[in-house]
Structure 1
Amino acid sequence: MDNMQNNLGEFLNNLIEINNDRIEGYEKAITLLPKDENLGLKALFEGYRDQSIKFKAEITPFVVQQGETPSDETRTSGKLFRAWMSIKSAVDPFSSHAILESCERGEDEFINVYNDAMKESAQLPMDLLVVLQSQASEQFKAHNHIKQLRDTTPR
């Protein structure tokens, strides 16, 4: 961002929105899980949903410091993807493997948004940077776990 000081609230709300997407994405994934084949995925998805709730809570004070209201919106791409998942599941129920693939796509998008945020690291307050680096690290582990599960779950 050209003038990070003037855009910090917007920058942070973008991070809140990707977390809102992640929360809603895992909520949707929970509803799509096959009743007889969840492999403990419901608890895992609830944990990653709760992780993003925690991330939002950590970012919110920085948004408020900027005189902004934390966003309760999601990104358009996330809304479209969840709508597509709903339509597809009505026609052809998802397997655990397909749900994990969808979750991995959401985790990939999260990584992209946080990677873009890290490009601004030189302009961010140190206390905020520490929070964002910690969140990115935790989420990267979640991404790798989802990917590993996807790779080992039958189609």
Structure 2
Amino acid sequence: METNENLVEVLNDLVRINNDRIDGYEKAIKETEDIDVDLKGIFQKMANESRENVTELSAEIASLGGEVATGTTNSGKIYRVWMDIKATFTGHDRASVLESCEYGEDAAQEAYDDALATDTDLPVNIRQIITDQKAELLESHNLIKKYRDLHQAVN
């Protein structure tokens, strides 16, 4: 039973980082200027991506007999990153918002790396889910980085 508890905790850590990511991008959508319609669409896509991740992770947690984490958390280095990002959106320019988002995406990658490196035995199907979600989040990270680099090149 301890293995299931440990596995549930690993998956709940990923639920939390995705919840933090959703909150961060929803805040970004609200704070982004009307002229940044392109960013609003990207931020909405990324929030939805994390919603899908949470749904998939929640199903695995339930199948293990665990309770799904709700909300976000202020504890732990990874989660604080998104909390800090949410606080930086107000009054910042496009470049700052993109840099903050990239930093948050780095934190999400770190959370997934930690999950894959855990001492807890990860069944093949769960390892595949984590790997697939990490790859999808890496694409989002690279898109944010591309927008940041393009913005820096133009200015």
Q: Under TM normalisation by the shorter chain, which class is it? A: 0.7 to 0.9
C-alpha contact 1:18 1:113 (8 A) present in aligned 2: yes
Aligned to 1:9: 8
Aligned to 2:70: 72
- The residue type paired with residue 12 of structure 1 is L
Correspondent of 1:81 among 70, 84, 91: 84
Correspondent of 1:120 among 101, 118, 121: 118
Give 1:71 deviation, angstroms: 1.1
Percent identity (aligned): 31
Consecutive aligned runs of 4 or more in structure 1 exceeding 4 Å deviation: none
Residues 1:140 and 1:53: Cα distance change in structure 2 (over 3 Å): same
5 Å matches for 1:3-42? 4-36=3-35, 38=36, 40-42=38-40
Give 1:122 deviation, angstroms: 7.6
5 Å matches for 1:32-111? 32-36=31-35, 38=36, 40-76=38-74, 77-78=80-81, 80-82=83-85, 84-85=87-88, 89=90, 93-111=91-109
**Which runs of no fewer than 5 residues in structure 1 stay unpaired?**
none
Residues 1:39 and 1:81: Cα distance change in structure 2 (over 3 Å): same
| Partner secondary structure for residue 72 of structure 1 | coil
- The residue type paired with residue 70 of structure 1 is V
Structure 2-normalised TM-score?
Answer: 0.86
- 131-140 vs 4-13, greater mean Cα deviation: 4-13
C-alpha contact 1:17 1:73 (8 A) present in aligned 2: yes
Structure 1-normalised TM-score?
Answer: 0.86
